[in-house]
Structure 1
Amino acid sequence: MTELRGVGIGLGVAQGPVARMAEPLPAPKDAPSERSVDEESSRVREAVAAVARELEERGNTAGGAARDVLEAQAMMAEDPTLEAEVDTRLQAGKTGEWAVYDAFASFREQLTALGGYLGERAADLDDVAQRVIARLRGVAAPGIPDPGHPFVLVATDLAPADTALLDLDKVLALITTEGGPTSHTAILAREKSIVAVVGAAHAASLTEGETVIVDAAANLVVTSPSDDELARALTRAADRAAAASAPITPGALADGTAVPLLANLGKPGGASEAVELGAEGVGLFRTEFLFLSSSSAPTVEEQRTAYTELLAAFPGKKVVVRVLDAGADKPLPFLNDAHEENPALGLRGLRALRASEDILREQLTALAEADAATRRSPEGPADLWVMAPMVSTVEETEYFVSLAKDYGLKTAGVMVEVPSSALLADRIFRHADFASIGTNDLTQYTLAADRLLGSVASFQDPWHPAVLRLVREVGAAGAASGKPVGICGEAAADPLLAVVLVGLGATTLSMAPTALADVRATLLTHTLDDARRIAEAALAADGAATAREAATAAASSQKAAEQ
């Protein structure tokens, strides 16, 4: 038996034979084309259009977050700038395959250098290029294997187009050699409730057909397992399935301490599923979907309609709406599409909204009107809270809270995503009604590691004690001021880390709806004192990996003592 370490997504465990993703197509040769420029140009345009339509179809079939990603990929495939880059190479007499390969590679380098949202899109270019080249060659694009039986999928990482349509009757679990807890693959694994271990570097040694156990709860992959180990894994999987089907109860610790479990949502259409899975409200509603696919800002009426739909789905429940989080890293022609050398540190979030205050005022107007429209609900109105993204100063806090209340929005707060706001949390709470910690960005800025850049993915781990210390600062400030502190980053979806976050002072946790069951079950096994002891163990570590190990050991020793 051998254990391969990685980062588990959720608490699941699965077993089965390995099937590996096919290797990428070999790069085309830089050789003169035997076709005319017009012939090559026609071939490329047809291939690009076909791939774009295929991506859109996959997105429509998959729905959810996958649809948004695939629609963005389809738009990227037909980007006019990229088309011009391809045409330049075709005019020089190159083959369509090489023109696509070289143009996409060049464009990818440009986007990677920009970082941020565009850096994330750059990673998707490889998949689009592979699909276009495969179509030009008349061969199947590399994708999910089909060995004819259920399998454990092993890959370097997965492209959005592949994860979108995974056959969950065949894919028993995922193992990737790259990526971290906030990678695209990890996020979609949570959304689809797939057992996964990501960032298991040594999984590259796994061979086709060998049986493995994928133990997300223990953050490991077991190779050559014994019959006893396989039997224990089956029992654990059955116990977890039974727990998932148990009646849904409000989030709480073993001693009865309430920890409301909320949902992260990107569109009103996700509300019904969140409610079915036990969400007690919404901890983060991202409003970007109204803005990112438009060439102009949505009208107040368009926004009001969407917000009213959302609020109506949660009568009597808390709904936290984040105003537009965009700017240079998510360029919008009507907000800010100016080039910046380092967009992650540029005009984004509230900074961008202050530079175009009319957009912020229209959004607050629409939210206030939606709030008023749902107050006549017979089941009781939703409890609307609004918050500003990327707040880094006390002055920004005072500005946003004051403006929100001018529009009649009674509960206004801020997101804590940069160290400055965490360190000044006591002063921020003099103005804000609440704070919500975005652990993805907080980790990025604390560790100086772009969360969308694969080369520094190992630094993007919210278990790092530096990040946990900042969470503790905010938790302590919230407790001292008697104001709530929520967590709405991916960290809240990690069951053991959720316990640590509560131990550090978090009063609510918000996550992808499919993560709610695991987090709810884990919280019920620990008291508040337990959570604080486990958190202290993690804080005493020197790094993310050792913090996770220390917390695991502390939780295990507590369970052993109870037995």
Structure 2
Amino acid sequence: MARLEGIGVGQGVAHGPVARMAPAPEAPAEEQSALTAEQETARVEEAVAAVAEDLKARGEAAGGSARDVLQAQAMMAKDPTLKKAAAARLGKGLTGEFAVHDAFAEFRATLEGMGGYMAERAADLADVSQRVIARLRGLPAPGVPTPGHPFVLVAEDLAPADTALLDLDQVLAVVTIQGGPTSHTAILAREKAITAVVGAVEADQLHDGQTVIVDAADSAVLTEVTQGQLDDAQRRIDERAAAVAAPVTPGALADGTEVPLLANLGSPDGAAEAVELGAEGVGLFRTEFLFLSADAAPDVATQREAYRRMLEAFPGKKVVVRALDAGADKPLPFLTEEEENPALGRRGLRALLAHEQILRDQLTALAEAEAETEADVWVMAPMVSTVAETEQFVALAREHGLRTAGVMVEVPSSALVAEPILRHADFASIGTNDLTQYTMAADRLLGSVADLQDPWHPAVLRLVGEVGSAGAATDSPVGVCGEAAADPLLALVLVGLGATSLSMAPAALADVRLELGRHTAETARAAAQAARAAGDAAGARGAAQQVVREAAQG
């Protein structure tokens, strides 16, 4: 048996024959055009516009975060820097195909040189370039193979436009040679619950028709497999399918300890699907969707209608609404200012308190929407750093008639003073994405420090433990709503650290529910203690796995 290592996405397993995605079309040669520069420019502009429109249409069809990814790709296609670079080459009489290829390649090389997150965005740029060139040549855009039977898709990397619209009745799993945990393939595979292993550099050895097992839980692709291994993989597939198909039960550990499993949602559009997938409520409703495309803050009536649509989907259920979180990578002209280091500037609650009427309008809209529905609204402030900020926000929420007001714990200071914070707030919710960023002093968008963006790091886990202990001491709920909660093993560790609820992308709910149901609170605490004692993220994950393995063996 051969074993190819990669980075697993989720807990799925699949087996089947390989179908490789065709390589990118041959790069155009540098040659003079028979057309004028003006004619070539018109060809390029038409092709770029058509590709951008196609990407947007694919995004609308896919919905969810795929829509955001593909809209970003459409914006890439129309980037003024790329347009200027292509125009310079067209001005020299070169063909449109080469001008596009060369201009995009230059920018792509810059992104790849940055490494990490930015290097992974370079793959998205390459896909746009290939689609524009195919359009110029009158050829169909590159895409997923259609062998006529279910298959394991193997590709150098998978473009967002292809990932978003995969036929999941045919694609059993995805294996990519390139990519990492923050690649769009990984992000969209996680959202759609596609079994995937990314960054499996030796997968270029796989050939069409070869039977493989893709084990995301073990971050591996197995080749030269035996019938016994195929039978074991099928058993796991059937067990997972049964868990998904079974009537949804409340999240709980094997000993009956309740752990409500909630959904992270970015707009009301995903509410129905979240309910169908077993969400017991909403642990993070991001309200930025109302503000990011606006020139001014929406009025109370507009906000009330959007909030009401969300709340109606969860009668009698908890819906945790995050107040507008602007600043850093989400600037708003009517709320934030240009700063040299916006991640450490006036963002989140700091920005809202500096423009208090915007916060007051949002709280008013939330209270009115709650009054029109049967949902239980909890509101929380983003980026809280101090006890004083907590007191100010909770007082404003109470003033506007909202009964349950809490805080996001996203910076080390609020984790370290969680107990005094929870003497004023009704609950805390840990945002592991930003907490990891600020704990490790590693920008979430900076590729050169992407390796530090791991919520398994013991420093992050210890801060989570501080909040968990504070919640126990004050008898306050402590949720986790960052992406860490979607990792089933890490979810167990988070419960062991004191989390009383977990919120995640709806597609992750079934896997997390299944994993928690296999273990007791004692195992969760032991896994958490072992992970905290490790020296790095990999050691923490390994230590938790060992505890779980030993507990399963009795």
Provide TM-score, normalisation by structure 1.
0.90
Q: How does 1:330-345 map to 2 (within 5 A)?
A: 330-336=330-336, 338=338, 342-345=341-344
Partner of 2:305: 305
Structure 1 vs Structure 2 CA RMSD: 2.9
What are the superposed Cα offsets for residues 465-499 of structure 1, whole Å, 9 maximum, x if unpaired? 22211111111111112111111111111111111
**Per-residue deviation, residues 238-281 of structure 1 (Å, max 9, x unmatched):** 12212222221111112211111101111112111111222111
Q: Distance in 1 between matches of 2:294 and 2:168?
A: 34
- Report deviation, 1:503: 0.3
- In the TM superposition, 1:109-508 aligns within 5 A as 124-336=124-336, 338=338, 342-374=341-373, 381-454=374-447, 456-508=449-501
One-letter code of the match for 2:397?
A
For 1:141 and 1:197, how far apart are their aligned partners in 2? 25
Contact 1:115 1:450 (C-alpha < 8 Å) held by counterparts: no
Letter matched to residue 233 of structure 1: A
Distance 1:165 1:498 in 2: 29
Question: 8 Å contact 2:86–2:99 — kept in the other structure?
Answer: yes
Secondary structure of the residue aligned to 2:272 is helix
Q: Which whole-Å deviations, capped at 9, do the CAs of 1:150-183 have from their partners, x for residues lacking one?
A: 2212334432211111111221112234444454
Q: 2:503 aligns to what? A: 510
Displacement of 1:86 after TM fit? 4.1
For 1:556, what is the secondary structure of its paired residue? helix
In the aligned structure 2, how far is the partner of 1:102 from the partner of 1:350?
44
Change (3 A) 1:306 1:94: same
Give the stretch that moved more between structures: 289-298 or 84-93: 84-93
Deviation at 1:25, TM superposition (A): 4.7
Change (3 A) 1:206 1:165: same
Q: Deviations over 1:399-450 (max 9, x none)?
A: 3333333322222222222223222322322332211111222223333333
2: CA distance between counterparts of 1:23 and 1:341?
Answer: 42
Provide the rounded CA distance (Å) in 1 between the counterparts of 2:292 and 2:318. Answer: 26
**Deviation (angstroms), 1:42:** 0.8
1: CA distance, partners of 2:355 / 2:119:
24
Structure 1 residue 522 and structure 2 residue 512: aligned?
no
- 1:532 positional shift: 0.3
Measured after TM superposition, the shift of residue 519 of structure 1 is 1.3
Q: Distance in 2 between matches of 1:272 and 1:492?
A: 21
1:78 aligned onto 2:53: no
Cα 1:335–1:158 change in 2 (3 A) is farther
Q: Which deviates more, 203-212 or 506-515?
A: 203-212
Shift of 1:193: 1.9
CA 1:116–1:3: 2 relative to 1, 3 Å? closer
Q: Do the aligned partners of 2:116 and 2:450 also contact (CA within 8 Å) in 1?
A: no
C-alpha change, 1:5 and 1:299, in structure 2 (3 Å) is same
- The DSSP-based 3-state class of the residue aligned with 2:8 is strand
The one-letter code of the counterpart of 1:559 is: A
Amino acid in the other structure paired with 2:316: G
Distance 1:367 1:242 in 2: 38
CA offsets, 1:331-387, max 9 Å, x none? 33433473x55544444333343444443332222212212222xxxxxx2111111
The amino acid of 1:243's aligned partner reads A
Give the aligned partner of residue 43 of structure 1. 43
Q: Cα offset for 1:34? A: 3.9
SS at match of 1:325: coil
CA distance in 1, matches of 2:379, 2:116: 24
Gaps of 5+ in 2: none
Contact 1:179 1:457 in 2 (8 A): no
Alignment CA distance shift 1:485-1:204 (3 Å):
farther
2 CA distance for matches of 1:94 and 1:333?
Answer: 41
Q: 1:377 corresponds to which residue?
A: none
* 8 Å CA contact retained: 2:320, 2:379: yes
- Return the alpha-carbon distance in structure 2 between the equivalents of residues 168 and 406 of structure 1: 49
Are the structure 2 counterparts of residues 354 and 538 from structure 1 closer, same or farther at C-alpha, using a change threshold of 3 Å? same
Verify the 8 A CA contact 2:325 2:349 in the aligned structure 1: yes
Q: Matched residues in 2 for 1:392 and 1:121: separation?
A: 32
3-state SS of the aligned residue for 1:451?
coil
Please state if 1:549 is matched with 2:548: no
Matched, 1:560 2:547: no
CA contact (8 A) 1:117 1:330 kept: no
Task: Confirm or deny: 8 A CA contact 1:120 1:453 kept in the other structure.
Answer: no
Counterpart contact for 1:120–1:452, Cα < 8 Å: no
Deviation (angstroms), 1:77: 2.8
Amino acid at match of 1:537: A
Q: Return the TM-score normalized by structure 2.
A: 0.91
Do 2:268 and 2:306's aligned partners in 1 also have CA atoms closer than 8 Å?
Answer: yes
Unaligned runs of 5+ in 1: 375-380
Aligned length: 554
> Structure 1 residues 501, 133: CA separation in 2 closer, same or farther (over 3 Å shift)?
same
**1:67–1:15 CA distance, 2 compared to 1 (3 A):** same
Amino acid at match of 1:186: A
Question: How far apart are residue 501 of structure 1 and its match?
Answer: 0.5
Contact 1:116 1:343 in 2 (8 A): no
Percent identity of equivalent pairs = 69
Secondary structure of 2:395 counterpart: helix
Distance in 2 between residues matched to 1:443 and 1:416, nearest whole Å: 11
Q: Residue type of the partner of 1:350?
A: L
2:527 paired residue among 505, 510, 534: 534
Deviation at 1:305, TM superposition (A): 0.4
Query: Does the C-alpha gap of structure 1 residues 494 and 396 become closer, same or farther in structure 2, counting only changes over 3 Å?
Result: same
Q: Distance between the aligned counterparts of 1:516 and 1:163, measured in 2?
A: 21
Q: Is the deviation greater in 56-65 or in 200-209?
A: 200-209
Do the aligned partners of residues 458 and 336 (structure 1) sit closer, same or farther apart at CA in structure 2, a change above 3 Å counting?
Answer: same
Query: In the alignment, which residue of structure 2 is the partner of 1:378?
Result: none
Does the 8 A contact of 2:176 with 2:203 survive in 1? Answer: yes
Distance (whole Å) between structure 1 residues aligned to residue 115 and residue 478 of structure 2: 30
Give 1:308 deviation, angstroms. 0.6
Q: Which 10-residue stretch deviates more, 90-99 or 183-192? A: 90-99
